[in-house]
Chains A and B, each alone.
Chain A
Amino acid sequence: MNTIEQQLWDYIDGNLDDSSKKAIEEKIESDARIKSLHEELIKLNSVFGELDLDEPSMSFNRNVMENIASSPAPLAMKTKVDTKIIYCIGGFFVISLLALLGYVFYNANFEMPKLDLKVNLDLNLEKYITPTAICAFLFADLVIGLIFLDQFLRKKVAQK
Chain B
Amino acid sequence: MEQKLTDLALIQNVLNGQTDQYGLLVKRHQRFVFSLALRFAKNREDAEEIAQDCFVKAYKALGTFKQTAKFSTWLYTITYTTAMTFLRKNRLDTTSIHDEETILQLENLTSGFSANAYEKLDSHAFLNIAITQLLPDDAAIITLFYKGEQSLEEIGEVLHMEPNTIKVKLHRARQRLKEKIQYLLKDEVKELL
- List residues of A whose CB falls within 8 A of some B CB: 1, 5-6, 9-10, 15, 40, 43-44, 47-57, 60-61, 63-65, 67-68, 71, 73-77
Contact = CB atoms under 8 A, between A and B. Distances in A.
A141 B33 CA distance: 47
Interface residues of B, number: 49
B83 interface: no
Interface of B: 14-15, 17, 19-20, 22-23, 26-27, 30-32, 34-35, 38, 44, 47-48, 51-52, 55-56, 59-64, 123-124, 127-128, 131, 142-143, 146-147, 152, 167-168, 170-171, 174-175, 177-178, 181, 192-193
Nearest to A39: B193
B170 to A, nearest CB: 8
B193 A44 contact: yes
Among B23, B26, B170, B181, chain A packs the most CB atoms within 10 A around the CB of: B26
21 contacts: A40-B193, A44-B174, A48-B174, A50-B127, A53-B32, A53-B147, A54-B34, A54-B35, A56-B30, A56-B47, A61-B23, A61-B26, A64-B55, A67-B52, A68-B19, A68-B55, A68-B59, A73-B14, A74-B63, A75-B15, A77-B64
